C-alpha cells in the first residue's frame, strides 16, 4: 500500500499499514510553514514563535544548523517543503553517526496495535520508555541503553516536519552526551535496534517498559488485531 503521508510504500511482515487521516494547513513561502513554531531545546512545553524564520534563509530551507540552537516545527510534511531525501536519518540497525538535518514524525496504524503510532521518514517505528519522565522531559536511557534504543536526534537549528502530529506536542531536550533529542507529549522518543525493516514493531512491550509512542506521547494501544 502507498502512504498518503510520504508517497512511499509501507511494508510490514505482519499486516498492511494504513495512514491515519489527518488535516494540516499549508502556509508560508516555498512550502515552509509560517504557522509553525520555534522550540527551545530543553523546553517540553514550547510556545509559538512570535515571528517565523526568514523564508530566504538557507538554514531554514533545508534544516541545517543556523546561528541559533532552536528547532523549527513545521506544520506540514518534508515533501511539501520540497524535500525528497531523509534528512540524514539512518535506516534499520545502522548507527546514527551524526544528527540529521531534519526529521519527520508521521502517524500510522499497523497490527497488532489498535491506535496510531509514530514512525520516522524511513518508516522506522518510534518508542517511549516508562523510566523516562515527561514533566519535566528527561531521558534515562544512556550509554548501553542508547545503543539498543537509539534516541531520535536532530541537528541544532534543524526542522521537524509533521504528518498526523499536532505541533503543540513536539519538543526537544539536550541529552547527557550533548545531543538534541525530540520529545512528543514530553516523552523522549527512540528507535529500536531490533527493528531491521520498515513496519517492524519488535520493540513493543520489551521489558514491560518500552512501547510504540502515539502522536500525543501516550502508549499506542496493543490489541489482537488492527481495526479494519
CA-wise closest residue to 190 among 134, 118, 136, 121? 118
Please state, in angstroms and rounded to a whole number, the distance separating the CA atoms of residues 126 and 213: 6
Q: Are 126 and 217 in contact (CB under 8 A)?
A: no
Q: Which pLDDT tens digit goes with each residue over 84-116?
A: 999 999 988 889 999 999 999 999 999 889 899
Could you say which DSSP state residue 6 is in?
T
CA dihedral sign of residues 19, 96, 59, 44: positive
- Beta bridge partner(s), residue 177: none
Query: Which string of DSSP letters, residue by residue, matches 106-160?
Result: EEEE-TTBSS-EEE-TT--B-EEETTSEETTEE----THHHHHS-B-EE-TT-EE
Is 181 strand, coil or helix?
A: strand
SS3 162: strand
- Pairing state between β 159-163 and 71-74: parallel
Find the mean pLDDT for residues 61-74: 61
Confidence of residue 40 (pLDDT cuts 50, 70, 90): confident
Whole-model pTM: value is: 0.76
- Per the prediction, the chain carries an average pLDDT of 79
- H or E segment to which residue 61 belongs: helix 58-62
Q: What is the reported pLDDT for 201?
A: 95
Local structure of 58: helix, strand or coil? helix
Residues 176-227 have pLDDT tens digits of: 999 999 999 999 999 999 999 988 999 999 999 999 999 999 999 876 543 4
Residue 19 binned pLDDT confidence (cut-offs 50, 70, 90): very low
Contacts of residue 94, defined as CB under 8 A and 6 or more positions apart, other chains included, come to: none
Helix (H) or strand (E) holding 22: none
Amino acid at each position: 500500500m502507498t502512504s498518503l503521508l510520504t508517497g512511499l510504500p509501507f511494508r510490514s511482515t505482519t499486516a498492511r499499514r494504513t495512514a491515519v487521516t489527518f488535516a494540516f494547513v499549508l502556509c508560508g513561502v516555498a512550502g515552509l510553514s509560517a504557522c509553525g513554531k520555534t522550540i527551545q531545546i530543553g523546553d517540553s512545553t514550547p510556545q509559538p514563535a512570535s515571528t517565523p524564520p526568514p523564508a530566504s534563509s538557507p538554514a531554514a530551507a533545508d534544516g541545517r544548523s543556523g546561528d541559533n540552537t532552536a528547532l523549527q516545527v513545521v506544520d506540514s510534511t518534508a515533501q511539501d517543503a520540497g524535500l525528497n531525501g531523509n534528512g540524514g536519518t539512518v535506516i534499520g540497525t545502522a548507527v546514527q553517526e551524526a544528527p540529521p538535518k531534519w526529521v519527520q514524525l508521521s502517524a500510522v496504524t499497523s497490527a497488532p496495535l489498535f491506535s496510531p503510532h509514530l514512525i520516522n521518514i524511513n518508516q522506522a517505528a518510534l518508542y517511549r520508555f516508562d523510566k523516562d519522565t515527561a514533566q519535566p522531559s528527561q531521558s534515562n536511557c544512556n550509554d548501553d541503553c542508547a545503543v539498543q534504543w537509539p534516541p531520535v536526534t536532530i541537528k541544532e537549528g534543524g526542522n521537524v516536519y509533521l504528518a498526523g502530529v499536532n505541533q503543540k506536542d513536539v519538543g526537544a531536550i539536550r541529552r547527557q552526551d550533548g545531543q538534541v533529542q525530540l520529545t512528543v507529549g514530553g516523552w523522549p522518543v527512540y528507535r529500536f535496534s531490533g527493528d531491521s525493516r520498515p513496519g517492524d514493531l519488535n520493540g513493543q512491550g520489551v521489558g514491560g517498559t518500552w512501547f510504540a509512542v502515539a502522536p500525543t506521547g501516550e502508549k499506542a494501544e496493543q490489541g489482537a488485531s488492527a481495526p479494519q
